[in-house]
Amino acid sequence: MNNIQDYRLSQIHDYCIDVENREVYLHSHVDSSDEEVGVDYRVAVNFEKNIRYLNTISDSPILVHMHLPGGDWTDCLGIYDTILKSKSKIGIIAYSKAESSSGVIFQAADLRIIMPNSYMLIHYGFLSLDGEHKATVSNVQWNEKEAKKMLDIFTDKCSNSKFAKEREWRRASVKKYISSQLSQKTDWILDAEDSVEYGFADGIYGQSPFLSIEHIKKKLNKT
């Protein structure tokens, strides 16, 4: 490889960014001694830097390749807000899974494409309590508020879905349905087709009109 190719490959592997093609790679921190930790402050900060940098160059669309399990909720929201507030449109391709907090991140994108063998997992997450009584109560109250926030995010997307329109459901009915699924199943697991049906994804990679990366970028430009 020549020096330019070496430099671009270094950008992708060391910094998770392909500046020339305006593509960002969103995955857990990678180190030879690391386990899969999902969303943490390192993942969030690196992503925020990359999106900010691309936004300073131009407002052309950005494509994010996401291969990410769940993780820390607050760091997830940092990524979620970064996508929502980006001056450039952002599309996400979800590889393997979009589960827990990464499923929430997925909903922030202007265009959401899921790989054919990927799945989504939606749940309320976990809360560990340890400490003084008043602080514990405060944490429970905060957790309930954040759970409602997550429910609202998925409700907003599902309200415009084929699933909701076929049933002529308004937002309240959609929210009740999603809440019931989470209560009954704890982990609500959806394959790629179901994710599109419920409005949690816009399409499946390899299916029209999302036949290739180039097709996805063209669609994102028109979004």
**Token pair 């930790």: residue:** 37
Task: Give yes or no for residue 127 having a pLDDT over 50.
Answer: no
**What are the tens digits of pLDDT across the range 184-223?**
988 999 999 999 999 999 999 999 999 999 999 999 998 8
Which backbone phi and psi does 176 adopt, to 5 degrees? -65, -40
Q: Stretch 4-18: mean pLDDT, rounded?
A: 84
Domains of the chain in sequence order: 3-124+188-222 (3.90.226.10)
Q: Sorting pLDDT into bands at 50, 70 and 90, what band is 136?
A: low
- Mean pLDDT of the chain, nearest integer: 90
Q: Which of 5-14, 59-68, 81-90, 100-109 bottoms out in mean pLDDT, i.e. has the lowest?
A: 5-14
Q: Sorting pLDDT into bands at 50, 70 and 90, what band is 1?
A: low
**What are the tens digits of pLDDT across the range 18-41?**
999 999 999 987 665 567 778 899
Q: Sorting pLDDT into bands at 50, 70 and 90, what band is 8?
A: confident
**Token pair 């994010």: residue:** 64
Which backbone phi and psi does 111 adopt, to 5 degrees? -145, 125
* Tally of CA atoms within 13 A in the half-sphere of 172 that contains its CB: 0
Task: Assign 117 to helix, strand or coil.
Answer: coil
Q: Stretch 82-103: mean pLDDT, rounded?
A: 96
93 forms beta bridges with 65, 113
Q: In whole angstroms, how far apart are CA 62 and each of 40, 130, 170? A: 22, 41, 33
Residue 129 has a pLDDT of 46
Which backbone phi and psi does 206 adopt, to 5 degrees? 95, -10
